[in-house]
Each structure stands twice: as structure tokens, then as C-alpha cells.
């Protein structure tokens, strides 16, 4: 029976560390600040904004929440973004994605200041991640995965890791971060011949594909550590992951729940990145 | 008995295409130009410079070869590099690495203009590679690997690929390029428990570790395609790869020789990137 490895204790520990750090910064007259940039009124964005804002405020980060009209032109959006880039009181910028169609993300990602880009939108930060350069900002979700593994004492170095999914949001960066920590990484995806076999070879299995309960017991080796990055809604309307939790729980040694797993750490990573950005900008 | 897949026919085909393309460009009054930047008189650099220059000139690219004194300061080096960045007649810049100790590569890689960085020194191009963004410049050696696979009709999509080595020069980028083409990629390295087993699982095996003749027959599955990126000198003073060619040749379906394999394609990739840079800069 697997140990259920929740995100909350991980988030709590980081939160506590950040609070102390920010207290120190404030004593010296400083103040880390996050600016969020949302276009329109998508429910997902609003929920994420609320989570990120609450978490940031909780540790003592100031938050400016900018909301732009749904039909704003790309030009006007860029103007607003550049104001944030140039505002020296703003240390981190979080843009909610996907942006509406009239705004081309492949243009915007080059405009956000890389040193304020706390969720790895800029290709420069993607490059730093690939190189293992610690000055960059890795994307929050795969970083949360690594924090969970670290918190629960899972040895990554030399472990056989299976990453199921190769999206730019989860699978690819998770594979890079695991490889940077010297796991032996296999990445599987829609064109993989035998994804179940790839998963079975993993001592650490990270799943991020967006298919409810895809991963069953026979995909998991006895004693594997299973990290479920999926957030889906099942046929009964309940939130579930990409892993069939009840089924896999018997076989894994550790497993993250959904909800309450990876998702509950991501906004804390954002807050951590704002503080990192503050420190880099005020060295 | 494996088919020996040489680099020359691959290089010849690309050379022919490039020559035609440059002829067209010249007809319209254009002229692609490469600038090489070497510090000191290292034999490796000089050999690579000669190879790159000859190949570029062969297809009609103009080449400026800049040589700076061994003990040049970082400041003066940067000044020279910025001249090339700003020189609109220069489309591609190739800096020979490693640079001498007094010049910090982690600084220089941010200074080379990304749009002229034909060998993926800039983290921005690393980011584009990770994202699979075709506007970037991928590093020449792993790109040569992909060109060879393509030329000899090796199906990458869905193939099980084993990458042995995780350096930023070969293993990591080769893994990214294979993943971008939808291979199922496993990357092994010094911390991997059973590298031989990883290799045996590969239908395509790319080796770049710098250990002479490391890969033996029992590491390779019957019919695998073996791409040897190693360039070493064996105990008899002969050039050899990371794969024990004579031994593995019996089992693989295709194998690149060393010399005459991947290494004979890289300078052609450089030339191709100069032309790509020219076209991007003159759209």
C-alpha cells in the first residue's frame, strides 16, 4: 500500500522558508512584488490567479493584478507588458495562458523580460532549463514535481525515470529536470509503441497527458514512485488525475493524490520564483 | 552485416542543394557570409576552422576568419564579437570553443547575436531547440545525426531511441531532437545503472561519450541503427569512435564509421545554417 505523498507539507515547508526570507528582505527596506497579467474572464485563469495571489500575499509578496479586456489588441497588450518589464518595483510577471487568439504567444514570449519571467514563458528560460543553468526560472509544474521528490526523500540520481507525456508544459521540462539531476530518463508519448512498458520500467513515473485514469496497476512496477500531474474531471464530475489512484495505490511505494498533490505546490513555486527574481535584481 | 552509412553522401546532397540556393541568392545580388572567431592557435580549432571554411567556400559562402591573440582580455574579445554582431554583411558567427580561461563562456553566450549563432551557443537557441521552434539554430553535431538518419531512410517517429551520453554538446541535444521527431527517447549517462540495457533497448542508438570502443556487440540489439558521435584515438594511434565498429558491425543493421561518419557532415550543417541565417535576415 503506497504512502500518499501530498503536496501540502511541501508547500508549507517552502512557504515557511519564504516567509522568513521576505521578513529579512523587508527589514532591509525591500519588498518583492508579483504582477499578474490576465486577459478576459476565463474561469481557469481567475482560479489560478486567486491561488497564486493568495499564496504570494501569504508569504509577504505584494501583488498587482492587472486585468485587460478580452478583445485587447496585441499592440496594446505588448504596451502593458512592457510597462511591467520596465517597472523596477515589479520583480516577477505571470501571464495567464492561453492568451486569446488575436495575441500571438510566439511573439509575446520574446517580449516578457526573461529576468521577471517566473513561469518559463521566455525561450531564454527554456534554454537555461535545458542547460541546467540555475539562474533561470523553470516552469512551475515540473518544478513542483522535483520539490515533491526532494521533500519525500526520493533519490533521483541514477533512478530509472519514466515520463509519460511530452508536452512543453509538463513532459518535456519534467524530463529535462530529471535528467539534470542524473536520472536515466525515458520519455513516452502518443507515438510510443508500448507506453505501459516504458512506465513499468520506471522507478519514478511522472504522468502528464490529460487522460483521466489512464495509468492502471499493470503499468506500474512494484514499489515505484508515481507522480500524477493530470487534472481532469471524471464521468461523475469529480476531479481526478491521469493515474487510476485506487488501482495503482496497491502497487506503488508512493503516490501523489489528485487533488492535493502536484497542483497544491505550483503556486508556492511561483512565490519562490518571485523571491529569487527579487534577489537577482537586487544583488 | 550492417550497412555502413557514411557521412559523405549526406554532406554531398546538402552541399548540392546549398550551392543551388546560393547561386539563386547571388543572382539577386545577395551574398551569405560566415565569420569565424578563433582565439589562439589550438590545433583542434585550426583543423575545424579549415574544415568549416573550405566547406562554406565550396558552396559559395564568403568567409571572414578572425584570429585573436591567446591572451586577449574578455573585454576586447567582446568588442570584437560585437563588431561581428553589428556587421550587417555577416550572417553567421562561429566561435571556436573552449575559449581560453580568461574569457567566461557563460558571459559570451549571451552576447553572440542569437540570429547569427549558427552553432547553438546562445541559450536562446537552446530554448528554441527544446521547444522544437524551427527558426532557431540547433547544434551542428546532433543535427548531423538527424540528417544522416533522414538521408538513409531511418524512421524516427515512434522508434525506440537510446542516447548514450548527456553532454550539452551531443547527448542532451540529440535526445531533444529525437524527441521532437517523436522517437521514444531514453538518455543514459555516467549515473545510469545499466547503460548496456538502455542501449539494447534502442532501435536507434546514438553514442557520444568520448570513450574509445565502449559499445560492444552485446550492447546492441539485432538490427539496430548505430550512430557513433565519438572521435577518439585508440592505443595504436588510429582514430576511432565510441563504438567498437568491427565488433558491432555484425549485429547492427546500419552503422556510421569513424572517421567518415557524423564528423563529415557537421561542417555542411554549419554552411546550411549560414544560408538559413542569411534568408532570415533578408526576408
Residue numbers in A near B124 (CB within 8 A): 123-124, 127
User: What is the rounded CA–CA span in Å between residue A254 and residue A145?
Assistant: 13
pLDDT confidence of residue B81: 98
Query: Which of A131, A185, A189 is closest, CB to CB, to B186?
Result: A185
**pLDDT classification of A83: cutoffs 50, 70, 90:** very high
User: Helices in A152-209 by DSSP H: which ranges?
Assistant: 171-180, 195-200
Q: In this structure, which topology does domain A29-114 adopt according to CATH?
A: Rossmann fold (3.40.50)
Complex ipTM: 0.94
Do residues B262 and B226 make contact, with C-beta atoms less than 8 angstroms apart? no
CA dihedral B112, B113, B117, B122 (to 10 degrees): 60
Contact A168 B131 (CB under 8 A): yes
Write out the DSSP string of A69-115: -TT--HHHHHHHHHHHHH-TT--EEEE-SSPPTTS-HHHHTTTS-GG
- Is A124 in contact with B128 (Cβ distance < 8 A)? no
- Band (pLDDT 50/70/90 cuts) for residue B253 is very high
Does residue A117 surpass a pLDDT of 90? Answer: yes
Q: B125 near B101, Cβ under 8 Å?
A: no
- Predicted confidence band of residue B30 (pLDDT cuts 50, 70, 90): very high
Q: CA B135 to CA B127: how far, in whole Å?
A: 11
* Predicted local confidence at residue A243, as pLDDT: 97
By Cβ distance, the residue of A160, A166, A198 closest to B179 is: A166
Q: How much is the pLDDT for B283? A: 87
Alpha-carbon A194 to chain mean position: 27
**How far is the alpha carbon of A26 from chain B, nearest alpha carbon, in Å?**
31
Query: In percent, how much of chain A has pLDDT > 90?
Result: 98
pLDDT computed for residue A169 by the predictor: 92
d(CA B233, CA B97): 20
Cβ distance of A179 and B166 shorter than 8 Å: yes
Q: pLDDT band for A235, please (50, 70, 90 cuts).
A: confident
Q: What CATH number does the domain located at B140-263 have?
A: 3.40.50.720
* pLDDT for residue B252: 98
pLDDT at A105: 97
Same CATH fold assignment for domains A29-114 and A140-262: yes
Closest residue to A131, CB basis, from B131, B168, B184? B168
pLDDT at A196: 98
Counting residues of chain B whose pLDDT is more than 70, the rounded percentage is 100
Cα B253 off chain centre by: 23
Which member of A160, A179, A193 has the closest CB to residue B184? A193
pLDDT bracket for residue B251 (50, 70, 90): very high
Helix axes of A140-151 and A171-180: crossing angle, nearest 10 degrees: 40
- Please name the helix (run of DSSP H) or strand (run of DSSP E) that holds residue B174, with its range, or none: helix B171-180
Task: Sort out which chain B residues have CB atoms less than 8 A from A192's CB and list them.
Answer: 158, 184
CB B224 within 8 A of CB B259: no
- Domain B30-117 matching CATH 3.40.50.10860: the answer reads yes
Rounded Cα–Cα distance for residues B9 and A33 (Å): 57
From the CA of A263, how many Å to the nearest CA of chain B? 23
Contacts of B97 (CB under 8 A, 6+ apart): B105, B121
What are the chain B neighbours of A168 within 8 Å (beta carbons)? 131
Residue-averaged pLDDT of chain A: 97
What does DSSP say about strands B184-188 and A184-188: parallel, antiparallel, or unpaired? Answer: antiparallel
For A157, nearest residue in chain B (alpha carbons): B191
Question: What secondary structure does DSSP assign to B221-252, as a single string?
Answer: -TT-EEEE---EE-TTS-EE-SB-HHHHTTT-
Least confident of A131-145, A154-168, A192-206, A227-241: A227-241
Backbone φ, ψ for residue B90 (5° rounding): -95, 125
H or E element: which one contains A271?
helix A263-281
DSSP result, A154-167: ---TT-EEEEE---
- Nearest-CA residue of chain B relative to A191? B158
What is the rounded distance in angstroms from the CA atom of residue B1 to the CA atom of residue B250? 5
- Residue A229 gets the label, from left (phi > 0), alpha (psi -120 to 50) or beta, of alpha
Would you state the CATH architecture of domain A140-262? 3-Layer(aba) Sandwich (3.40)
Q: How many CB pairs under 8 A join A and B?
A: 88
Residue A86 has pLDDT above 90, yes or no: yes
Task: Report domain extents, chain B.
Answer: 30-117, 140-263
Predicted confidence at residue B132, as pLDDT, reads 96
Number of H helices, E strands in chain B: 10, 11
Rounded to an integer, the average pLDDT of A102-125 is: 97
pLDDT-derived band at A111 (thresholds 50, 70, 90) equals very high
Asked if B130's CB is within 8 angstroms of A129's CB, the reply is yes
Residue in B with minimal Cα distance to A136: B123
| pLDDT, tens digit, 9 for 90 and up, residues B113-147 | 999 999 999 999 999 999 999 999 999 999 999 99
Q: Which of A128, A185, A205 to mutate to test the interface with B (most CBs of B within 10 A)?
A: A185
d(Cα A119, Cα A125) in Å, to the nearest integer? 9
Report the alpha-carbon distance of residue B11 to residue B50 in Å, rounded. 16
| Burial per residue of B57-69, b for 16 or more beta-carbon CB atoms within 10 angstroms, e otherwise | eebbbebeeeebe
B234 confidence band (pLDDT: 50, 70, 90): confident
Instruction: Tell me what the mean pLDDT of segment B244-272 comes to.
Output: 96
Distance, CA of A22 to CA of B118 (rounded, Å)? 42
Average pLDDT, chain B: 97
Mean local confidence (pLDDT), B69-77 = 98
CA angle in degrees (0–180, nearest 5) for B234-B237-B242: 25
Q: Which of B126, B183, B192 sits opposite A130 (nearest CB)?
A: B126
CA end-to-end span of chain A: 48
Three-state DSSP at A238 gives coil
Provide the pLDDT for residue B235.
86
A239 exposure class (CB count in 10 Å sphere: 0-12, 13-18, 19+): middle
| Closest C-alpha to B13, from B152, B155, B206, B135 | B152
CA B96 to chain CA centroid, Å, is 13
Residue B223's pLDDT is 97
Q: Residues 6 or more apart from A224 whose CB is under 8 A from it?
A: A202, A203, A204, A205, A251, A252, A253
Per-residue pLDDT tens over the stretch A20-61: 999 999 999 999 999 999 999 999 999 999 999 999 999 999
Amino acid at each position: 500500500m503506497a504512502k500518499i505523498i501530498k503536496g501540502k507539507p511541501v508547500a508549507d515547508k517552502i512557504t515557511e522558508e519564504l516567509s522568513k526570507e521576505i521578513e529579512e528582505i523587508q527589514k532591509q527596506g525591500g519588498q518583492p512584488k508579483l504582477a499578474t497579467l490576465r486577459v478576459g474572464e476565463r474561469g481557469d485563469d481567475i482560479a489560478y490567479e486567486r491561488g497564486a495571489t493568495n499564496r504570494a500575499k501569504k508569504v509577504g509578496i505584494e501583488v498587482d493584478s492587472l486585468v485587460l479586456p478580452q478583445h485587447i489588441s496585441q499592440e496594446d497588450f505588448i504596451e502593458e507588458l512592457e510597462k511591467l518589464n520596465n517597472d523596477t518595483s515589479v520583480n516577477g510577471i505571470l501571464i495567464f495562458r492561453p492568451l486569446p487568439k488575436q495575441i500571438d504567444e510566439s511573439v509575446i514570449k520574446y517580449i516578457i523580460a526573461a529576468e521577471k519571467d517566473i513561469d518559463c514563458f521566455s525561450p531564454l528560460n527554456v534554454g537555461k532549463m535545458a542547460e541546467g543553468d540555475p539562474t533561470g526560472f523553470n516552469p512551475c509544474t515540473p518544478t513542483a514535481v522535483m520539490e515533491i521528490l526532494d521533500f519525500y526523500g526520493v533519490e533521483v540520481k541514477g533512478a530509472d525515470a519514466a515520463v509519460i507525456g511530452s508536452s512543453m508544459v509538463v513532459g518535456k521540462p519534467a524530463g529535462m529536470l530529471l535528467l539534470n539531476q542524473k536520472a536515466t530518463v525515458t520519455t513516452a508519448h502518443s507515438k510510443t509503441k508500448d507506453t505501459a512498458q516504458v512506465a513499468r520500467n520506471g522507478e519514478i513515473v511522472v504522468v502528464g497527458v490529460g487522460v483521466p485514469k489512464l495509468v492502471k496497476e499493470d503499468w506500474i512496477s512494484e514499489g515505484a514512485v508515481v507522480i500524477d500531474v493530470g487534472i481532469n474531471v471524471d464521468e461523475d464530475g469529480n476531479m481526478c488525475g491521469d493515474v487510476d489512484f485506487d488501482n495503482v495505490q496497491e502497487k506503488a511505494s508512493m503516490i501523489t493524490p489528485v487533488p492535493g498533490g502536484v497542483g497544491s505546490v505550483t503556486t508556492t513555486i511561483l512565490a519562490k520564483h518571485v523571491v529569487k527574481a527579487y534577489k537577482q535584481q537586487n544583488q
